[in-house]
Structures are given as C-alpha cells and as structure tokens.
A and B are shown apart, each in its own frame.
Chain A
Amino acid sequence: MSEKLHIAQNLEDALLFRKENDCIVMAGSSDLMVSAYQGYGALPKFDKPVLLIRNLEELIGVRRNSDGTVEIGACTTSRQIVESPDTPWVLKQAAGRMGAVALRNSATIGGNIANASPKGDTPGPLYLLDAVVNVMSLDGGRRSIPIRDFIIKFRTIDLKNDEIITSVTIPVSDKDMTYWFYHKIGTRAANAISKLTLCACAKVSWGEVKDFRIAATASGPVTNRSRDVENIAIGLKFDELAAKASEISGAFDKVISPRAMPEFRREATRRMIEFFIDKVSKNSYKKFYN
C-alpha cells in the first residue's frame, strides 16, 4: 500500500494509481464518508487506499454529442446536471430531488451509479433512458455497458479493478417521447431518501403507442424494468391503452420485489402506472407529469 489517499491530478494519473493499487474510487464522497464514519472525533475507516477523482475536469460536465446523444461526465454533480439545458427532463427531476442542497453540490452521477443502491436517485431515469456507462482503464482500454448490465445486483457493479467510470451516455432525449412521468415518494419534502420512485415515458405516433417504458426504484434490489411488460402496451392504439391498464400494472407488479413496506410499494406503484396510462390514453396536451 503506497499511500492512504491519492488525489488524482488528471485522468491518466488516476488510471495509473488505479492500475497499481487495489483502491476505492471516491468522487463526491457523500456516501463513502458516511459508510466510513467511525464516531465523533475519529478518522474515517477505509480498508483500502482511496483515490480521489472529484476534481478531474475531464470527468465533469454535460454535453451533447454530434449523434444527438447526451454524455454526462462521471464527476458531474447533481446540481450541474440540473442546471444543464442538455439534461433530459426525467433525469433532471431525479437529480433535483436528491438529498438536500449541500448533497446535490457534492454527489456525482458516477458515484450514484457505482453505489448500486436500490434507493439511488439517478439509476431509475438512466434505466428508463437505456443509458450506457462508459469505463476506462490505463492504455486506452474502454468499455461501454448498458446500465442494466453494469449494475449486476444489489451493491455490485461490472467494474474491473483497474477501471474508472468516466461518463454515462444517454441516447434518448425529451423530444423522442410524447409523454414523461417522474414521481419520487420521499420520506419528507427536504433531504429525503426515496421510499419509492417511478418513472415512465411513452411515444404515441399516428394514434399508436410506439414505445412505452416503466422503471421503478426502491422496489427491489435493483431498478426494475421489463420489456415484456412494456410490450403489452407497444403497438396498441392509444385509446385501447386504458383497457389494458390493470393488465400492465398487474404484470409490472410481478416484476418488482419490495422487501420492506411491500404493500405500500406495490399499491403505490400500481396506482402511479395507472395514473400515467390514464394520461396517455387520453392523448393529453401536457407532456410532463409528476
């Protein structure tokens, strides 16, 4: 073990340290410092050296690529995500409701993904948007993994010991869908952890449902999405959707597996899905729903 804390000077420096040390990568520190807390007046405890990457300019910012996708650097804070005009609405909703102001100023999207917490705020929208996680290792090694594969299971991600998450790519923009829905049931209005979050979107074109997606967070060990459930809606005329509402919400109920508060989480999920379907089936003017 060469040092306990390494503050990376640039991405290459970070990747080099990462390659040479079995270490913990820290960005905003809002979760890691809490889990390493040892008590009043004591030093935090990490069982591996810590690599701090939060100031790496290369990993900060939201930008629109030439192919229309949006790329968000791993060390971009929730506040920066909220403030960018290129951030999709549904992700902005999630980032803007994360914790309290101080936390949103430090917590990063890379950290939120890497934690793979079932209650994380950004994974829900990222699953919904089919986001891809980009990782890098020294000497130009790169991989791009869909988020639903990158988060393997509760608190477990597909990241090798020499890799760092560099960014996340989002292929879907607000205009690609006709309707968007996001609702976080927090423990209270401010500084709230999610009890349940549901996001959804639908594309209706020439009266037909062309795409339909639902993602639920805090209702299982990882964010839940099911293409099989979504396929029940896809291809229907929008006015046929209402009749299928309970079938869809019933099928989605089989996908989720909430451990605590199961009745509440199942019931509220069902009611929110049916609310969204009701809006879509009425072909409303309004695009965004909370």
Chain B
Amino acid sequence: MADMRNDKARKDAISKASGRETYVGDLSLDGMIYACLVRTSVPRGIIKSITLPPLPDGYYYFDDRNIPENGRNELWMIQKDWKCFAAGSSGYVGETIGILCGPDRTLLYSLRDQIKVEYEEQTPAVSIEDSLALVGGPIIGENNYHCTVELQAGDGDIDEIMKNAYRVVEEKFSTGHQEHMHLETNGMMVNYEDGKYVYYASCQCPFYIRKSVAGIIGATPEDIIVRQMSTGGAFGGKEHFPDVVAGPLILAEYYLKKPIKLIFNREEDTQFSVKRHPSVVKFKTALDRKGNILAMDSIVYYNAGRYLASSYIVIQRGCMHIEGVYKFPVARTRGYSMATNTFPSCAFRGFGAPQTIFAVETHMTHIAEKLGVDPVEYKRRYLIKQGDTTITNGKIVENVRTPELIEKVCKASDYFEKSRKYGFGSGKGIGFSLYNHGGAFTGNGESAIIKAVVKVCKRKDGTVLIKAGQTEMGQGFSSAVCRIAAKTLGIPYEKVIYKYPDTSVVPDSGPTAASRSTMVPGNLVMKACEELKARWDEADELECEAHYEHPEGYPWDQASFQGYAYLGYGWGACVVEVEVDPRTAETKIKGIWSAHDVGNCIDPLIVHGQVNGGIAQGIGWASTELLENKGGYFKQHSMSDYIIPTSMDLPAQEVYYANEPYKWGPYGAKGMGELVFNGSGAAYVDALSRAINRKIDSIPNPTEVIMGHILHSEKLTEDKR
C-alpha cells in the first residue's frame, strides 16, 4: 500500500485562501462587453412574437434567426435535441430565447426587462405523474419516454415467483429536485483570438464545450479553444450545463469578435440551470415464509425535463444500482426517463445512483422492521460479494469489504445498543445505510467512448508538467495528481505542476465526472510517469504519454447493457443519529459515522473533505433542500429559501476506512467523489423515521414535512421496543 505523505498543502490552498485565485468573474480585457440571456417565462407554449426595445449604440441582440446558413440550432451533448435557442416554442421556464450584449450591465438588464415576448400558452406536464398521464399531450414521442432501460438477473420467471410468494411487499419511494448550489455561479467569457474562438470558462469538461457548440456557427471543435478558469464548485452542475451558456455566446462572438462575459447571478443559477432528477421508484419484493427475499422487481421513473441532456446515462446508472450493495436471487428493473416541461435534469454527484439507493435501502429497512429484525442484521444477509452476478449479468471483480465497513460504523456509533434503547417514537433515532458507486464510465465507455490520453512533460528547470483535460473544481484533483506523479517519479511534490486545462495544450483525457479522474486519468499519469522515469536521462525536455487500455476479460455489450458494468466500486456504510423536538418537529443531528472503501487514499485530507462534504450534501438532499416546482416554476430562488445545511447544522463526523486496493488504479485508488453522497440520505431518513415512529418514503423532509409525517403518516411499528 502506498503511503502518501500529507504534510504538504493542496496546490490551490494558498491562492484560494488568500483570495488571489482568479475566477472568470475577475477577468477583464480591453473592450470587454457583457451579455445576459433572454429566457422564456412560460413552461410550455408557442412564441408568437418577440419585441425588442430600441437598442442604443453598442448593444446587440442575437437569437436563432442569426445562426449562419451552415450552422445548426443545437447543442451536442449525448444527443442533439437540446436547442441552443428556443426558436418559436418554450419547453420549460428559462429556455434561452436569445442573447443580449452591451457595455453597461445596469442598462443591459434594463433592456432585457423591456423585451416583450408573446406566447400562446399550453398546458405543461411538470411532474412524473403528469408526464405519465400525458398532461397537455405528449412532449416527445407517444409516451413521453426520453429513453428506457430493462435489466434482469437471476434464474426464474419473476412474475411466477411473485404469484407464488408467501408475501409480496409493495412500496413506492420518491425524491425531489436538488440544486447544486456551487459557491461560484455559472459563468464564462468568450473572445476571438488569432482566428479561434476562445472560452474562459467555469466548467468541469472543457472538451465537451468545444464539441457541443461548434456546430451552431458551422465551425469545428478545432476552431474553438476552451481554457478552464478556477472553478468554485460544480457537483455535476458544470458538466453539460456550460454548453447552454457557451452556445449563445459563440453566436454573439461570431458577429462581434470582442471579449464578451456572461455571469449568472444566484437567482438565475438557482432557477435556470440543471438539477438532480426527481424520482419515483416502485418495488415489489417477494418473501418466503421465513422472510427471505426470493425476488425483487422494480420500476424506476426519473423526471428528465424537456431535453435529454445526460438522462440516458443517469437512468441507466439508477437501474444498475437498484440492488444497492445486495444480491437477490432474482432481480428485475425497468427504468423510464420521463420528459416534462421543467428545466432539464442533468448530472449531479451520484448521477442517478442516489435515488435508487435511497429507495432500496429504505425498502430493505422497512421489510426488516416488518419482520421484527434489526435492519443491519437483515441487510447483512444479502451482501453482494466477489464473484457474484450483478443486475447486468457481469461479476463483482473485487473483494467486497462491506462486512468490515458495517462492523466499523456500528461499533463506533454504538449502533445496536442505541437501536435497541431508542426503539420507535422516543424522539431519538439511529439510522443506517449501505451504498456503493461504480467508478468511471459504465462498461467499456472508457475505451469505446472516451479513449483517454494524458501527457507528462519533463522541463528544462527540472519540473514536470501534467497535461490532462481533468479540471480542478475544489475536489482536489490538482493536488492528488501531483502526488501520484511525484511518488512515481521520486521527485518532490513541489516539482510537479498542474495547470487548469487549455484544450489547445492538453490531450483529451475525458470529462471530470463519474468519479473517474483519479481512478482513470490518475492511473494514466502514473503510467506515463513510469515511462518518464525510465527515460529521465535521455533529454532535458521530454514528453511521455499514456493511453487508456481496458483490462481484458471483462466484456461489456453496450447495445444490451450486459456484462461488467464497473470493475471497481467504492463501498460505504453510514450511521446517522437524530433527535426530534416533539413540540416543533425540529430535528437535530447528533452524530454521523461513516466507513468507506475507496481503494486507497491518495491524499487522505482531501478524501476526508470529500467524505464530510458528500455526507452533508446527502443529508441536505434528504432533509432541508426543498425545491418545489409549481406549474413549471421553481419556487425557491436563492440561498435564503433553498436551504443547504451549514456546519452549524451538523456535528463533527467520524470517518473510517476499510480500503481494498484497486488493481487498475494508481496506488490502489478508485473512485470516491460520488460514493460519499449516495447513502447518507437513507441513513438520515431511517433515523428520523425511527425517532418519530413514522414510515417515511420520500425526500426531502424539512421541518413542516416532518410535522406532516407525525400527524398523518403510517406508524413503522405499533409496539415500542
């Protein structure tokens, strides 16, 4: 096992803590003007007319009508269905109609507010239920399905098993929208430099932007350079969404050829950006006389919004995690990505896995409680292990250490004693969850789609420069990758340099997403450094590169989603303890204990920070982060009404590890950035349910919702243990 020293500060620590770090909002170039987006204000309807006020000199408006003849009004994400400009119809509140540019922002916004748009309004479908009922008529196709997934593993006819079972437990779970609420809002600047369109962007995936927007002006990705700026948080919200900002900007730049900057304010970023998919998950689980699970059948609906964005993969991931960390004799799931008239849902830490994991964890807990067995004991019976078959009919490749993780959190939290003592309805509750997250792209995605390349360069001054498309967005990649290189080369950490990627300089090593950066590009950096080390004395300046190769013997068929979905999973266990004030339903979190298998910690402090933050964000999702959508409009619009927890709402966390080194990762490391989000919500809801002795099957649970549960929800158990 590698022992990565942790006595050196993060690469970005001093510049960020001292305020010297430059964000896109800080940039200023000669002749720079500003831009703002003009957006639709109805969730569904035909745009009848757009009337502009007289524009003073130096102010410009562009929309789809200005797209050159060889250009197309489309953003290329996974498909090309997301229009750059609304072009005659509104599919959700906040769809981009056009872009307004000019030198003075006060005047710019005032001009925007004077633009009159006339609509012929139609009835929107906002929720999953609306979409299934085809409210207002289908949005896409005949049945509003953006895409579907069906997976089954195990022998036997699942419908027969249900028919013959001693008991079938049916439950339905739901989760709501979640806003990323990254500290830095979305923003970027575009400029025309030496015949290229150059973006300075707060983003996760610079190469995505190039690919997505080039077609709007009939250009190629090579005509575009994206330079990532320091990015103040992202969480998936800056994976595909920057394309939506970059699209209108490239059209304006096509005509204006001067620096144009567009920064969202907090209200825009909250109301008019992508969100986590709301979900409805239904289970039918067959039990025998002794309470053993015979089969689990499920239907998964995700609210994808108007356009596909990344929902195709999000629903897949949701379905692939439907069994949680368990193995059932027979399992089947059917997933539907539903079109609605809400802002498109997209990537958010966990990428579809948290919704199904919350559902399966809570379902398992409820079954255990029905049977009078402690949920931890019950869950232990079904743990998936090395060699077991997953729902995609691949196998678990690695040694699974969930029994140790359970041991660690239960011991540290005194779970069994508290579980017995607090019982149900005492105002105190302890909750437990297990979870995992498959690292990197699904199946053969890394080799078939991404084909990552990284370079490392020895320079004259003895420093080594990392060239990769991976972005630093606060998660710590810049420090972790330098530690990997320094260790491999046997040179000081200070001698290794990481720079924010510039697509004209670095190779495309794939998106900074899917918990893949340390695991896959980090491993390529290690490999390239091994070669560089061997050839170190060849020259003063030397560049080595490494290309991704998928390990052999783990097949995947993308057409049928069959095979080895993930070679290395992160695994986790979490215990949360709460106390509920019976007068007011206010909830105080008294303790949080977690244990994870992250392969190996390249940088233990950064991993610790990810654990703390991921668990807090998961608890926020499950508790206070209510984002209501009424008739197509998000009701919350700022940090004062969209409530993310603060450090004052959370106790100090106790963090443990039982790491199983990952064979194909750098020094054993595997993905962990999303894992740490996936399970805390279920543990929190379990604790809360027990404290008030009420069945809770939905997320989020702000105080008023908890009061509603106390007054109306079904009891978990009649007898107080």
Contact = CB atoms under 8 A, between A and B. Distances in A.
Residues of B in contact with A, size category: 20 to 34
Contacts of B34: 41
A193 B34 CA distance: 34
Nearest to B263: A40
Interface stretch (A73-81, A127-135, A268-276): A268-276
Interface string A159-199: 00000000000000000000000010101111101011000
Contacts of A40: 25, 105, 185, 263-265
Contact of B707 (A39, A183, A188, A268): A268
A44 to B, nearest CB: 9
A210 B610 CA distance: 57
A159 to B, nearest CB: 26
A43 B641 CA distance: 24
B163 interface: no
B640 A42 contact: no
Contacts of A188: 624, 643, 645-646, 648-649
A268 B585 contact: yes
Chain B CB within 10 A, most for which of A38, A40, A261, A272? A40
Contacts of A190: 646-649
Contact of B703 (A37, A43, A264, A271): A264
Contacts of B65: none
A74 to B, nearest CB: 24
Contact of B586 (A37, A185, A191, A261): A185
Contacts, number: 76
A230 B171 CA distance: 47
A42 B703 CA distance: 36
Interface residues of A, number: 27
A125 to B, nearest CB: 18
A191 B646 contact: yes
A267 interface: yes
Interface in A2-55: 37-43, 45
A263 interface: yes
A264 B585 contact: yes
Interface in B619-654: 624, 640-641, 643, 645-649
Nearest to B107: A42
Chain B CB within 10 A, most for which of A38, A39, A42, A268? A39
Main secondary structure of the interface of A (DSSP, over half): loop
A41 B110 CA distance: 13
A193 B640 contact: yes
B640 A191 contact: yes
Contacts of B648: 188-190
A40 to B, nearest CB: 4
Contacts of A196: 584
Contacts of B711: 263, 267
A271 B584 contact: yes
A189 B643 contact: no
A191 B638 CA distance: 13
B106 A38 contact: yes
B265 A263 contact: no
Nearest to A195: B703
Interface in B549-604: 582-586
Contacts of A267: 707, 711
B84 interface: no
A187 B638 CA distance: 13
17 contacts: A39-B265, A41-B263, A45-B106, A183-B584, A187-B624, A187-B641, A188-B649, A189-B649, A190-B646, A193-B641, A196-B584, A264-B703, A264-B708, A265-B704, A268-B583, A268-B584, A271-B582
Interface of A: 37-43, 45, 183, 185, 187-191, 193, 195-196, 261, 263-265, 267-268, 271-272, 275
Given A38-B110, A193-B640, A268-B583, 8 more contacts: A39-B109, A41-B105, A187-B641, A188-B648, A195-B703, A264-B704, A264-B707, A268-B707
